[in-house]
Structure 1
Amino acid sequence: MPDYSRLVKAYDIRGEVPAQLNADIAAKAGALFIRLTGADRIVIAQDMRSTSPALAQAFAAGANQAGADVIDAGLGSTDYLYYCSGSLDLPGVMITASHNPAQDNGIKLCRAGAAPIGEDTGLARIRTWLETDDVPEPVATPGTTTRRDLLAEYAAHLNSLVDVSGIRRLKVAVDAGNGMAGHTVPAVFDGLPLDLVPMYFELDGTFPNHEANPLEPANLRDLQAMVEQTGADIGLAFDGDADRCFFIDETGQAVPPSAIVGLVAARELAKAPGSAVIHNVITSAAAVEIIREHGGTPVRSRVGHSFMKALMAEHDAVFGGEHSGHYYFRDFWRADTGMLTALHVLAALGEQDRPLSELVADYSRYAASGEINSEVTDIPGTLDKVEAAYRAPGDATADRLDGLTVTFTDGRWFNLRPSNTEPLLRLNVEGPTTASMTALRDEVLGLVR
C-alpha cells in the first residue's frame, strides 16, 4: 500500500518514481480529479523528466475513463499550464516535480482559471479517496484525449502584458538548468531586441549540469561566471518547471528577490493605482515602503503560494511577490509566472540607461541575513523562549502570523518560522546596517541554538 500521507503534500502530489508515484496512482488521480472538479474537460501539460510522458498519459486515461475529455497541451512550464487553464477556462494538470531531484516527479492541480488546489481545497479529499481506494468505476462512454500546443499563444499573451519592443538592445544570459525554460524562453523572447546567451537549454530531466533550483547559491555560479565572461547586461536563472526566476546583475551579483518585488510592484501600481500588493512575512521592509510610496496597499501573507493566491483573490491585488522567487499577477489569473517577471525586469532595465546593479539599488535599502536553518527538537518551546526574550515594552512588537516575527522601533526585524517538512527553524533578519543586522542575527541564533 503506498504511503499517501507522504505522497500527497500541501500543494501537490510528489514523490519518487516508481517507488512512491507510478502510472497506476496517476490514473486513479486522474479519475479522482474529475470527481473533485465535476469537469467534463481538462487540460494537461508536462515537463521534460523521462517519467513525465507515462504519468501524463496515465492521468489522462484515468480522466477519460471518468468521462472527461482531455486537451494534451504537451511540453511546457508550470506557468504555461496556468496559461492553458486560464485562457481555456478549464481545470489544469501539470506533471512536474519542479526543482526536485531527477528520480522524483509530481502532479500539480488547479481549477478552471488557474485557481490553486491545495490541501484545504481538494488535495486532502483526493488523499482520503486514494487511501480508501474509493475510485470511480469507468463510465460506459469514456472521454477522448486531443493534442493541442498552445506555446505560441502563451508567448503572445505574456508579450501583450509587457511592452519590451522599444527597449535598448540587451545581452541576456539565461540558465535554463536543463529545465522547461529551454523550451519556453525561445518562444517568449523571439523577435525582442535581446542578444540571448543560452545555457543548458537542452531538455534533460537528469539535470547533468546542476540542480534546477536557483534558490541554492551554488546553482547560480555558472550563470554568474557567464554574465561576467560575456559582458551580459543581466542573467536569468529558472527552476526546473520554470515558474520561478532569479536575476544576476552585470557584475555577477545575485539580485535579492525582495528588490524585484519592489521593482515590479512599482510598475504594476503605475497601471493600477491604489491597488493591493501581497508580500510575505520575510519580504524586505523596503518592498513594503515602496508599495506605499507608489500608492499601493501592502498586505502581509504567510509564506507559500496557497496563502498568497488566496489573499490575491480576497484583495483583488494587482501583484504579489515572495522572497522565494515566486511572483503573482492579477493579469495572469493571479498565478505565479517567472517569465512575466523576467519581461518586467527587462523592460525596466531597457527603458533607461543605468546598469541593473544601479537600477535595483533603488529597491534595496536594508541589510539582510538570508535564510539560516537551525535543527531544533522543541520548535514550539523555542519560539516561546525567543518571543519572551524580546517582549520588552516599547522596544519591539511580536506577532505569530507565520512563526514568530519581532519588529523593533529602530527598523530591525526578524522572522523565525518552522519548516513544513523538517525539524528546522528558519531565521531571516534585516536591519538598517550590516552591523545592526549581524548583531541581531547572532543574538537570536544564540537563543535558538
Structure 2
Amino acid sequence: MSNPGEADPTPITSRRQLAAWFAAGSKPRATWRIGTEHEKFGFRRDGLAAPAYEPDGIRAMLEGIAAKGWEPILDRGNPIGLKRGEASVSLEPGGQFELSGAPMADLHETRIELAAHLREVHEVAGPLGLGFAPLGFHPLATREDMPWMPKGRYAIMRQYMPRVGGMGLDMMLRTCTVQVNLDFGDEADMVEKLRVSLALQPLATALFANSPFVEGAPNGFLSNRARAWTDTDPDRTGIPAVAFEDGFGFERFAEHVLDVPMYFIMREGKWIDAAGIPFRAFLENRAPALAGHTATMGDFADHVTTVFTDVRLKRFLEMRGADAGGVPMLMAKPAFWTGLLYDDAAQKAAAALIRGWSVEEIRALRMEVPRLALKASIRGRRLQDVARDALAIARDGLAARGLGEETYLAPLEEIAASGLTQAERWLQRFDRAWGRDASRIFAEAEA
C-alpha cells in the first residue's frame, strides 16, 4: 500500500474529470517504463519475531536508511516511509518493508535498483539484529503476533476489514507480494492489456506460489497470500467483470470505482473515517459522515489506491497477483509481464492465448490456484501447459526488445518445466531436511 500522496484540491465537478484522470496515463511507446514493487517480512534474528515499530525495529530501519539520502515521510510525526526521486519505501500494516521502485527503462536497471536497496537494508538491519525474508505469507506468526504500524489509514482499515471478509486482517498483516507497474499507449491498448493481465493473473499466482505454511505448519495451500485475497473484501478485490464488457474503457472503469466503498479522506493532514461509503455517495453529497467536505481529485486518486483488484488501473497498470520471493523471482515478475505486454506481437499472442475464457472461468481458476497452483486447469487445459505457452510468448516479447532481458525468465521456465513451485520445494525441505521445523525457512529465504 502506498504512502500518502500530494492531494490535488481540484473539486470534482464532472464525471469527465475522472475518466480524464485515467486517460492522462496514456504514453507514447518510447516513454513506457517498468516499475517494480516488492515487500518482505522483517524478523529478529534472536527468536524470529516480527519487529515492532519501536524500539530497535521498523522505525530504526527507516531512520537508518533515511541517513543514506532518503527523505522521511511522516504520519503524525512518525516516519512511515521514505522518498528519493521517483522511488519510495513504505510500510505495510504489519511492518512489511516495501520498495516502490522508480520507473525504469529496462529490466537491467531494475536489477541494479533492487541490489542497491537490499544493500542498504542489510547495512541498517545488521546492527539491529534484523533480517528480511520475501515470502508470500508469514510462515510462523499468528495474527495476534504481528505488530501494527502507526499509519492513520491502517487504523481505519483495521476496524473495517472484519465487517467485509474473514481474512482481511491477515491480508494486511501477514502477506507480502511482488508487483510490476506497466504503461499503456491509449485507451484501446489499456483495455487489451488489462484483459490479458486479468485473465493471466491466476497463472502468475500459480507460478509465484511461495507461501505453504501458516503458523508453523502446512495447511494444504501453496499460496496462502492468494487464499487470503479470496476472503478479504468482495467489493474491491478479484476479477472485475466490467473490464470484459463491450464498450469498456476509462469512463466505464471510473464509474466502477465510484461504487467501490471508501476507507477515508484526508483533510489538513488528518484521516477522516469514510469506511463503507461509496465514493459516488460522497460525490453526490449523500454521505452524512462527510458533510461539509467537497470531493476533490485528490480524494479520488487516494480512493483508486484502495481498489484492490488483481490488476489495478491507475495511470498505469499494476499487476498484483504474485507472492514475494527471492531475488531471481523478484526479477522474474517484471520480466514476465514486460515480455507479454511491451511487444505488439507478444501482446496479440497473449490475447489469443486467453481468447474464449469467460469471466466465470477465470474467477473459478482464481479460487483453485491458491491450493493447486500449476495443477489447476481452465477449459480442460492444465495450468502448467498454459504456463509454458505464456512463457514462450514472454521470451519472444523480451527478445524483440533486443536488450538481453530474457535471462530473467529462467526461474519461471524451470518451474513451468518441472511443475514444482517454490511452495512445493519448501514443503520438500520441510519434510526431508528441516525435521518439519518451518522456522528454518527464514535462513534459506532471506533476501
TM-based fold match above 0.5: no
Larger helix share, 1 or 2: 2
**Larger RCO: 1 or 2 (CA < 8 Å, sep 6+):** 2
Q: TM-score, normalised by structure 1?
A: 0.28
Larger strand share, 1 or 2: 1
Q: TM-score, normalised by structure 2?
A: 0.28
